[in-house]
Amino acid sequence: MPQLYVLAPVEFNSAALACDCVAHRFGNATDHPERVRRYPSDMTDAEWAVVRPLLPVPGWMRGRGGQPEAYCHRAILDAIRYLVDNGIKWRAMPADFPPWDRVYAFFRRWRDHVLVREFHDRLRGRVRQEAGRDAEPTAGVIDSQSVKADAVVGADSRGFDGGKLVNGRKRHVVVDTLGLLLGVMVTSADIGDRAAAKVLLERVTDAHHRLELVWADGGYTGSLVEHCLAAFALVLAIVKRSDDMRGFVVLPKRWIVERLFAHLMRSRRLARDFERSTTTAEAMVYWSMTMIMTRRLARTHPARA
């Protein structure tokens, strides 16, 4: 069973408490003043109302030891969103956020314990339910995107994509029919789409048992179609571009994943791969998608109420 925040009446450490995050209510965050929200990436109160009950429970609240956190969870989330949205360095974190090393420790803990993906998946389920869909999808779209890599990216995880003429990394993603992320895998740019798809589709089908159909472009033809049907009971439908087409043409289903790539490129941290490890690069993609979904839920929440 997924564990969520349980907010019960408690005795506050401070007489005047504005934030209701777990670190303020149960931790030591009241020792630090609450920051004033001033950046476009900061969560609004409507977004925070959606996010707060979906956050994973910290380890120190589950009897796993550790010291209660001394910094507001909302402020830390805003700091990570600021970094992803504006593409800054960790050490260039604005002074009104918690110290950069504390923010990075939070980011690293969520990355290593797969909490960011857990948080992302809960948001995706809420967005699908708001759109009148089931929380678990039955169809998706797969594609890849090659991006240039910064100098910090080592030779062991970077390569040259001869088709796109890009020296860097490649993001392999699977999305549902609403364009929401189901899975992402970051590899060097010289890894073929079919080879990466075998691994990624195995992960996605293990996490989403109702997935039955995935659309793909012509780069995924060949033995992968039979492999998906035999190994995952998954139909891989190839959407090809006709030879008679001239110029730009919107292809059925494939435009959905292309729109996701357009959303990701609006996060400046993802315009180029600056991460030393592929797991950090994947976490950045999940954080970017959480920003998109919280804003969408905040817009639909007043209308639904």
Band (pLDDT 50/70/90 cuts) for residue 303 is very low
Structure tokens, 121: 């998946």
Q: Which residues are within 8 A (CB) of 252 and not within 5 positions of it... i.e. 6 or more apart?
A: 215, 239
Cβ atoms of residues 182 and 204 within 8 Å: yes
Q: What percentage of the chain exceeds 70 in pLDDT? A: 87
Please report where in the chains the tokens 């960790």 appear, as a residue. Answer: 90
Least confident window among 23-32, 37-46, 265-274: 23-32
Per-residue model confidence (pLDDT) at position 65: 66
- Mean pLDDT along residues 177-199: 96
Tally of residues, the chain: 305
- Mean pLDDT along residues 245-274: 85
Q: What is the per-residue pLDDT across 132-142, written as a single tens digit (0 to 9) for each?
A: 999 999 999 99
Per-residue model confidence (pLDDT) at position 218: 87
Per-residue model confidence (pLDDT) at position 7: 46
Q: Is the dihedral of CA 247, 250, 252, 257 positive or negative?
A: positive
Q: What is the per-residue pLDDT across 126-178, written as a single tens digit (0 to 9) for each?
A: 999 999 999 999 999 999 999 999 999 999 999 999 989 999 999 999 999 99
- Mean pLDDT along residues 98-109: 95
- Mean pLDDT along residues 55-72: 76
186 DSSP β-pair partners: 171
Mean pLDDT of the chain: 87
Structure tokens, 19: 């934030």
Band (pLDDT 50/70/90 cuts) for residue 97 is very high
Neighbours of 109 (CB within 10 A): 14
Per-residue model confidence (pLDDT) at position 14: 36
Per-residue model confidence (pLDDT) at position 173: 97
Spatial distance between the Cα atoms of 216 and 140, rounded to a whole number of angstroms: 9
pLDDT at 26 over 50: yes
Structure tokens, 49: 């109302």
Structure tokens, 23: 């670190």
Q: In 88-138, where does DSSP find H-type helix? A: 100-112, 115-130
The DSSP call for residue 36 is P
Per-residue model confidence (pLDDT) at position 249: 60
Per-residue model confidence (pLDDT) at position 28: 78
Band (pLDDT 50/70/90 cuts) for residue 258 is very high
Q: Which residues are within 8 A (CB) of 124 and not within 5 positions of it... i.e. 6 or more apart?
A: 176, 180, 181, 182, 289, 293
- Mean pLDDT along residues 186-215: 95
pTM for the complete prediction?
0.88
Cβ atoms of residues 185 and 205 within 8 Å: no
Spatial distance between the Cα atoms of 29 and 275, rounded to a whole number of angstroms: 30
Q: What is the per-residue pLDDT across 222-244, written as a single tens digit (0 to 9) for each?
A: 899 999 999 999 999 998 776 56
Per-residue model confidence (pLDDT) at position 283: 97
Q: Which residues are within 8 A (CB) of 275 and not within 5 positions of it... i.e. 6 or more apart?
A: 152, 153, 281, 284
Type and span of the H or E element at 207: helix 193-207
pLDDT at 268 over 60: yes
